[in-house]
């Protein structure tokens, strides 16, 4: 295996096929993401976009093709799951915080249990991250005491605590009230500006246009069209893309 270098894509998806039983969800998807890039995947419901990003941290397995994250081959039968998950952070639509732990404990758990880091240092890091997501006064609140937007920001901080190279966002604002969507998007934008590699599945077109370096449109398990936001939104060629964009813009 050749070593991964900064010139190679940090996430490389080649001709990926994915089945759920007989149902084929991904039909040969290829996509490269360079370090520091922000990529948005858009498309109608059921087009396979969430499935695709779940494959990137091996929450879903694939039946064909290859996925590499920083040189780690996900189709390798001896895949070191821990090594992969240290590199890839994931934020979910439903936040999925641990309800029996306070906000700061949620952030501290993985570094302490998985990376076996020293508690005092982890606490310092967690405080810093809470400040970064603008929740420094909510350290000891339980998830049930926080709003959706606040929970989602804790979830982002929780993933960041593992200092991943890539962050995956799976429709992270879809379950939020319209008022709180913005605070989460601002947090993600800060991250993107700090140079974090981000792959987002999103329905927030305005946001995608603003932060994305590249936009992919998926439909029925294939990538129909892609390009930088400047051309993607104004000069879409495929009729399916045009129809989708006309419906939501």
Contact residues: another protein, CB under 8 A = 57, 59, 81-82, 85-86, 88-90, 92, 94, 96-100, 109-110, 113-115, 141-146, 155, 158-159, 162
Neighbours of 227 (CB within 10 A): 16
Cα torsion at 139, 143, 145, 147 (round to 10°)?
100
For residue 30, give the nearest of 55, 2, 65, 6 by alpha carbon: 65
Residues, the chain: 249
Which residue number, 100 or 124, has a Cβ lying nearer to another protein?
A: 100
Shortest reach from residue 222's CB to another protein, in Å: 26
Which residue number, 100 or 237, has a Cβ lying nearer to another protein?
A: 100
Neighbours of 120 (CB within 10 A): 8
What SS3 class is residue 7? coil
Shortest reach from residue 124's CB to another protein, in Å: 19
Shortest reach from residue 110's CB to another protein, in Å: 4
Shortest reach from residue 176's CB to another protein, in Å: 16
Which residue number, 53 or 185, has a Cβ lying nearer to another protein?
A: 53
Contact 172, 152 (CB under 8 A): yes
Which residue number, 198 or 215, has a Cβ lying nearer to another protein?
A: 198
Which residue number, 109 or 205, has a Cβ lying nearer to another protein?
A: 109
Shortest reach from residue 171's CB to another protein, in Å: 13
Helix residue spans in the chain (DSSP H): 49-56, 81-87, 103-113, 119-132, 148-160, 178-193, 205-211, 229-232, 239-248
């Amino acid at each position: 295996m050749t070593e991964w270098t900064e010139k190679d894509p940090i996430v490389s998806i080649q001709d990926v096929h994915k089945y759920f039983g007989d149902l084929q969800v991904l039909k040969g998807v290829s996509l490269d993401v360079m370090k520091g890039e922000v990529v948005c995947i858009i498309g109608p419901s059921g087009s396979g976009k969430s499935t695709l990003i779940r494959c990137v941290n091996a929450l879903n397995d694939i039946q064909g093709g290859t996925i590499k994250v920083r040189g780690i081959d996900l189709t390798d039968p001896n895949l070191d799951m821990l090594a992969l998950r240290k590199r890839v952070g994931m934020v979910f639509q439903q936040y999925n915080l641990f309800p029996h732990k306070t906000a700061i404990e949620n952030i501290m758990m993985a570094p302490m249990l998985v990376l076996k880091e020293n508690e005092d240092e982890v606490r310092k890091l967690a405080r810093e991250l809470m400040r970064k997501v603008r929740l420094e006064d909510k350290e000891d609140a339980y998830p049930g005491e926080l709003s959706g937007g606040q929970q989602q920001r804790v979830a982002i901080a929780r993933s960041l605590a593992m200092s991943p190279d890539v962050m995956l966002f799976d429709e992270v604002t879809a379950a939020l009230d319209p008022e709180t969507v913005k605070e989460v998007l601002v947090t993600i934008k800060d991250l993107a500006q700090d140079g974090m590699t981000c792959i987002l599945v999103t329905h927030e077109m305005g946001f995608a246009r603003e932060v994305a370096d590249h936009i992919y449109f998926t439909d029925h398990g294939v990538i129909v069209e892609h390009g930088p936001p400047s051309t993607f939104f104004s000069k879409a060629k495929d009729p399916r893309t045009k129809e989708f964009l006309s419906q939501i813009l």
